[in-house]
């Protein structure tokens, strides 16, 4: 039996609405990635049907971009390891399990970090990137939820396309 999306399952924690929305978006992403990755082969995972980015890329990008955005929300600069990881998001060599394990570990850490940001006023100024573009803690949190859901939608669409292409080739 399917259940409602996380944001409709009731308040689980006493956190500000923005923080809860981010946690709900991350939970929904986790559920969707697990659902739509099920049954995909290694080749499917790294396929780029009709030139679309691969599912593997989107999953890595979600995990690593959340880490980068939370680093800015915490008022820190990106580390060399984060910059190196950014450059390898498109590498088509990692096994499915490795990518999914990184993804789930990243979401677990992200949820803890979002909770730790709860005492900080969402209007607190922050900056992003080498150009120190202006935003706020709230702006970063909302972008995490929005950006994550956009890439999740692309994962779902690509998985559906891969399933359709497989069915056509039978």
Every domain of the chain and the residues it spans: 27-168
Rg of the chain (C-alpha set): 17
Report residue 72 as tokens.
Answer: 């800015």
pLDDT tens-place string over residues 59-118 = 999 999 999 999 999 999 999 999 888 887 777 778 899 999 999 999 999 999 999 999
Torsion sign over Cα 97, 150, 129, 24: negative
CATH of region 27-168, choose from 3.40.605.10, 1.10.10.10, 3.90.1150.10, 1.20.120.450: 1.20.120.450
| Average pLDDT of the residues in 17-38 | 96
User: Which residues does 24 contact at the CB level (< 8 Å), separation at least 6?
Assistant: 5, 6, 7, 145
Mean pLDDT of the chain: 93
- pLDDT (tens digit per residue) in 97-108: 999 999 999 999
The pLDDT tens digits of the residues spanning 137-154 come to 999 999 999 999 999 999
CA gap 89, 104 in Å, rounded: 16
pLDDT over 70 percentage in the chain: 99
């Amino acid at each position: 039996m399917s259940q409602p999306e996380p944001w409709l399952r009731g308040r689980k924690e006493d956190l500000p609405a923005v923080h809860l929305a981010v946690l709900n978006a991350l939970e929904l992403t986790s559920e969707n990635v697990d659902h739509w990755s099920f049954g995909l082969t290694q080749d499917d995972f790294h396929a780029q049907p009709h030139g679309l980015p691969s599912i593997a890329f989107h999953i890595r990008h979600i995990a690593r971009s959340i880490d980068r955005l939370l680093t800015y929300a915490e008022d820190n600069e990106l580390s060399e390891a984060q910059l190196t990881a950014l450059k390898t998001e498109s590498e088509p060599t990692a096994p499915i399990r490795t990518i999914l394990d990184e993804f789930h570990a990243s979401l677990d850490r992200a949820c803890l970090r979002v909770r730790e940001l709860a005492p900080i006023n969402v209007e607190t100024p922050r900056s992003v990137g080498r150009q120190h573009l202006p935003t706020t803690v709230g702006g970063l949190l909302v972008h995490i939820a929005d950006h994550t859901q956009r890439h999740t939608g692309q994962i779902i669409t690509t998985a559906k396309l891969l399933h359709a292409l497989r069915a056509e080739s039978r």
